[in-house]
Chains A and B, each alone.
Chain A
Amino acid sequence: MGYLGGFRVTLRQMGQPRVTTEYPKEKRIKAERMHGRHVLNRYEDGMEKCIGCELCAGVCPARCIYVRGADNDPLDPVSPGERYGFVYEINYLRCIHCDLCVEACPTEAITESKLFEFSFVDRADAIYTKAELLVGDDGRPQQLPWEDWSDADDVAEDSSAWVRATAASGDARYVGKVAWSGELGFGVKEPELTVASYDELDDEEDAAEGKADVEALDGEVEVGDDHDHGDHGHGAPGAHL
């Protein structure tokens, strides 16, 4: 075709299907580990997971998290530990959704949902406080008036799964193990395989056999919990006094 080849290419594209997603009308399925806005998780009994350690604020590269810890009232504790976060604020005008806070958190208290469609018109609205970040009694993130939840089936379903992205490479004990746990609250995900365990799967000739292996691994999910935060939430609050 020489010089005119390009013209045929462009003309042929005219009949091809379009690649555009008409965004507000149709929404793409979000990536498995998409970083959206945060939620502050709670235990099944309603206790907050946050212990006010401020590690998230310390690790935050955008300096958008403000946490103040306070001692629990022994008679009416907010969290199972000694302390709890009595101020928890995230400024979404600064947050870069890097998820480092999620990785730093020792109690899986802060995680990121897939919600990202929150366009506030007031700077004050950009600062989400504990009142907005804390999950409801049903474990769902709270919907704020300016948030678009039209595809909640996708973005809210898996919205509070805790992902420790560096686990497999960072800690020898995670090799071949399921690297994150679904915590309590809304949307507990099926455990996901680490990179290392996928490598093992590739060696297997039979895919079905591989699946059986994965199920066998399920029992060992607790590994991460041993050194992280133990099992505080499941006991009665009074037991820790």
Chain B
Amino acid sequence: MTALLATGDPLLAGEIDGGVILLVLLKTLIVFAIPLVLTALMIWVERKVHGDMSNRIGPNRAGPWGILQTLADGAKLFTKEGLIPERADRLVYRLAPYLSAVPAFLVFAVVPFGGDFNPRSDGTIDGTVTLLGNATFLQLFDAQPGILLVLVCSSVAVYGVMLAGWSSGSKYPLLGSVRATAQMVSYEAALGLSLVAVVLVSGSLSTHDIVAFQALPGRGLLPNWNLIVTGVVPFFVFFIAATAEMNRPPFDLTEAEQELVAGFNTEYSAIRFALFYIAEFMATITFGAVIATLFLGGPAGPDLGILPGWLWGTVWFFLKLAIFPFIWIWFRATLPRFRYDQLMDLGWKLMIPLSLGWILLLAAIRSADTVGTDGQRIGYLPAVYVGAGVLLAAVLLQASITVGRRRRELADLEVFD
């Protein structure tokens, strides 16, 4: 299988001439512009769709259907006075928005936003397109650690939120950032563990290889998407963990208006606030892109004609990407906010154990075809053992959670006696 997967961007494999540098610059520009434009659109779409769902109109003043609203808001924020609270730690206070915004941009560098992932005549899948006479991936940087960069970026973004709240020298931002840090750190575990399932199945950390794996023909009519291959559960865990990771409703305790004014960014104004705002909405775009890449095959999709063949990858990618922001808006319009203990319970007592158990099970099942040292197929017996073990562990965990809860309730009762 690995033979099918091309490794490394062919653009940088050969001689580096002017055309190659131009192409890299072009891709850099695109990778910078796409998230920015999509974020502006996302903010507008969110306000429109959320308005629709609550029988309102939403922004309709700036431009046709209010589509330039984000631009107008941005222009306003950029020209406003940026206030620094008297008790703020000035350096950290200024640094924090960038710690939030820069990682949001960086994630997109490893996401393949296009490419022809249909098998070539010789059966290989290389996912390249030919632009300006050079074969290249439609991806800025096919890093070997690939998908880990996404985790790194979302981890660094936690610093932005944490330092913003801490350096504001104000109570509500501090409370908000403490909540945010705890929440993001907790869900990062679930995020990473569900990612392991994808890496396990695809056999590579590189996002390009993960997409190329998913472009392989699947069983029957089903595509070979990780959504199906990993058995759906990691997808849901990743999706919910991503929702929590970017503090979207129903996990937006970080900025619970009723309790914390605006949470960690309460003391921020003007451009620094705009950066947090951009980072927050860009997260919906980048996580949408990451989920599409990891679970829905990213740019992999059939060439339906009409458009030039190499463009279809991009079309499929953005179609798949668009699903998730919509669902998050839908969440926001529908679901009430979680309570803090419910949030932590969901993260630690359900998501993490679930994804851990699933990895074990998945690994055991996938080892069935491996030939052992005795020359025999390993078979499904180990998988059955592991499954039984995971089930037992789940029952024990549930029992211990129930016992713990009952004890707490009893303790509470004694207090009032």
Partner-binding segment picked from A11-19, A94-102, A150-158, A204-212: A11-19
Q: Which residues of A contact B60 (CB under 8 A)?
A: 22
Check: B333 CB closer than 8 A to any chain A CB: yes
Cα of A19 to Cα of B333 in the assembled complex, Å: 17
1-26 of chain A: CB within 8 A of chain B: 6-7, 9-11, 13-14, 16-20, 22
Q: Is the CB of B334 within 8 A of A19?
A: no
Q: Is the CB of B55 within 8 A of A13?
A: yes
Contact of B55 among A6, A7, A11, A18 (CB under 8 A): A18
Q: Which residues of B contact A17 (CB under 8 A)?
A: 55
Cα of A9 to Cα of B53 in the assembled complex, Å: 9
Nearest residue, chain B, Cβ from A14: B52
Check: B49 CB closer than 8 A to any chain A CB: yes
Contact of A10 among B56, B57, B333 (CB under 8 A): B333
Interface residues on B, range: 10 to 19
Map CB proximity to A onto B319-351 as digits: 1 under 8 Å, 0 otherwise: 000000000001001110000000000000000
Q: Is the CB of A6 within 8 A of B334?
A: yes
30-57 of chain B: CB within 8 A of chain A: 49, 51-57
Nearest residue, chain A, Cβ from B52: A14
CB distance from B341 to the nearest CB of A (A): 19
Q: Which residues of B contact A6 (CB under 8 A)?
A: 334-335
Cα of A10 to Cα of B335 in the assembled complex, Å: 10
Q: Is the CB of A14 within 8 A of B57?
A: no
Q: Which of A17, A18, A22 has the most CB of B within 10 A?
A: A18
Nearest residue, chain B, Cβ from A8: B334
Nearest residue, chain A, Cβ from B336: A6
Cα of A16 to Cα of B54 in the assembled complex, Å: 9
Contact of A20 among B49, B57, B330, B335 (CB under 8 A): B57
Cα of A80 to Cα of B333 in the assembled complex, Å: 64
Q: Which residues of A contact B53 (CB under 8 A)?
A: 10-11, 13-14
Nearest residue, chain A, Cβ from B54: A13
Q: Is the CB of A9 within 8 A of B334?
A: yes
Q: Is the CB of B334 within 8 A of A10?
A: yes
Cα of A6 to Cα of B333 in the assembled complex, Å: 9
Cα of A41 to Cα of B330 in the assembled complex, Å: 55
Map CB proximity to B onto A23-39 as digits: 1 under 8 Å, 0 otherwise: 00000000000000000
Q: Is the CB of B56 within 8 A of A18?
A: yes
Q: Is the CB of B56 within 8 A of A19?
A: yes
Q: Which residues of B contact A13 (CB under 8 A)?
A: 52-55
Cα of A14 to Cα of B50 in the assembled complex, Å: 9
Nearest residue, chain A, Cβ from B49: A14
Q: Which residues of B contact A19 (CB under 8 A)?
A: 55-56
Q: Is the CB of A18 within 8 A of B57?
A: yes
Cα of A6 to Cα of B250 in the assembled complex, Å: 13
Q: Which residues of B contact A16 (CB under 8 A)?
A: 55
CB distance from B52 to the nearest CB of A (A): 5
Q: Which residues of B contact A10 (CB under 8 A)?
A: 53, 330, 333-334
Q: Is the CB of B57 within 8 A of A7?
A: no
CB distance from B227 to the nearest CB of A (A): 19
166-188 of chain A: CB within 8 A of chain B: none
Q: Which residues of B contact A9 (CB under 8 A)?
A: 334
Cα of A138 to Cα of B333 in the assembled complex, Å: 53
Q: Which residues of A contact B49 (CB under 8 A)?
A: 14
Q: Which of A7, A10, A20, A22 has the most CB of B within 10 A?
A: A10
43-79 of chain B: CB within 8 A of chain A: 49, 51-57, 60
Cα of A118 to Cα of B243 in the assembled complex, Å: 46
Cα of A6 to Cα of B335 in the assembled complex, Å: 8
Q: Which residues of A contact B56 (CB under 8 A)?
A: 18-20
Q: Which residues of B contact A18 (CB under 8 A)?
A: 51, 55-57
Cα of A10 to Cα of B53 in the assembled complex, Å: 5
Cα of A150 to Cα of B93 in the assembled complex, Å: 49
CB distance from B334 to the nearest CB of A (A): 5
Cα of A16 to Cα of B333 in the assembled complex, Å: 15
Cα of A14 to Cα of B51 in the assembled complex, Å: 8
CB distance from A5 to the nearest CB of B (A): 10
Cα of A6 to Cα of B334 in the assembled complex, Å: 6
Nearest residue, chain B, Cβ from A3: B335
List the 3 closest A-B pairs by CB distance, nearest first. A10-B53, A14-B52, A10-B334
19 sampled A-B residue pairs with Cβ under 8 A: A6-B334, A9-B334, A10-B330, A10-B333, A10-B334, A11-B53, A11-B330, A13-B53, A13-B54, A18-B51, A18-B55, A18-B56, A18-B57, A19-B55, A19-B56, A20-B55, A20-B56, A20-B57, A22-B60
- Measuring CB to CB, which residues of chain A are less than 8 angstroms from any residue of chain B? 6-7, 9-11, 13-14, 16-20, 22
Known: A19-B55, A19-B56. 14 other contacts (CB 8 A): A6-B335, A7-B334, A10-B330, A10-B333, A11-B53, A11-B330, A13-B52, A13-B53, A13-B55, A17-B55, A18-B51, A18-B56, A20-B57, A22-B57
